Amino acid sequence: MQGLDPDVARILEGMRRNNTPPLWTQPIDAARKAYDKGLRLLDLAPEPSVAASDEPLGAGLVVREYAPERRAPGAGGLLWLHGGGYCVGSIETSDIVCRMFAARCGCRVFSAGYRLAPEHPFPAAVDDAVRAYDWALARLGEGAERPANLAIAGDSAGATLAAVVSLRAREADLPLPAAQILVYPSAIGRRPSASKQQFAEGHFLTLNDLEWFYRNYTQGRDRDDDPRFAPVAARTLAGQPRCLIIAAECDPLADDARAYAGALAGAGNDVSLEVFPGMIHGFFNMGGMVRGARAAHALAARFLSETLAGGSCA
């Protein structure tokens, strides 16, 4: 381990100077506001050339659709699922990342605003993610002469949901995603790991945050053997779509990413794991201040462009 990246170290030092309270110590409404505000301060400027519109699907689920100014021929699309431990975050906190993918890859992007815990505990987020995927497939396939070419992706809890949708697609009689992009997923549930102990404090996401998220989401129940919560527990991982997993070296969930990459590879899948040195959980949304985030964006956009036929990536 080479230590924290200097860009990341400056952010953490600023949080310490400002006495930023941990999410797990705050009421849920305050935690949501703090999370939204913090990400906006750290993220890139939004891409203005991408148009966006919201589609309410009922029962609390909203999907935001992004249309690039220049769409690559046959570029397909991407469904993005936001992070936030199933408790915080929204389509607003992923807005800039989704605009980035749409602009760089010339594809339509769909962002799912799934229901949050504790008001809507497990498996509400899973059910919403599957429903959003089904809707995006239909939306992308409208008027098309061939089946929709739809990839799925997300960060943190959203990455876990993306993995779960990929696993459940066959059970729901849906086409498999064209590919998966999983950015620091929680894949092993509440099981202990070396990275959870090593980075339990002082690296943005803490072990107390994780426990708070899981407690709100599962209502304190043990779900580690349920693949809808811990996808590594799936009976089989065979036949999964091509997968890029992006991890942060200094992240309690770094070993989750390694474990899921190893399990996918062991089941015969095409999987690539990229661990970004010196990065922390959440860095993918810190592109305005962290150069490593912009490198991760470029990697993910190239992967998506290669996957979606006809895509091109700036």
The yes-or-no answer on residue 120 being catalytic is no
In tens, the pLDDT along 53-68 reads 999 999 999 999 999 9
Catalytic residue among 82, 120, 203, 281: 281
The yes-or-no answer on residue 53 being catalytic is no
CB 69 within 8 A of CB 116: no
Residue 40 has pLDDT above 90, yes or no: no
Q: Which fold has domain 6-307?
A: Rossmann fold (3.40.50)
Residue 312 has pLDDT above 70, yes or no: no
In tens, the pLDDT along 223-270 reads 999 999 999 999 999 999 999 999 999 999 999 999 999 999 999 999
Catalytic residue among 5, 251, 255, 256: 251
Catalytic residue among 94, 111, 156, 305: 156
Tell me the backbone φ, ψ of residue 75, rounded to 5 degrees.
-70, -15
Residue 106 and residue 234: Cα distance in Å, rounded?
34
Cα 196-199-205 angle, rounded to 5 deg: 90
* Mean pLDDT confidence for 31-51: 89
Q: What is the pTM of this model?
A: 0.96
- Can you give the pLDDT at residue 129? 98
pLDDT over 70, % of the chain = 95
The yes-or-no answer on residue 82 being catalytic is no
> Dihedral of the CA atoms 206, 255, 248, 119 (nearest 10)?
-50
Q: Which of 186, 200, 169, 207 is nearest to 259 (CA)?
A: 186
The DSSP string of 51-113 is EEEEEEEETTEEEEEEE-SSPPTT--EEEEE--STTTS--TTTTHHHHHHHHHHH--EEEEEE
Residue 313 has pLDDT above 60, yes or no: no
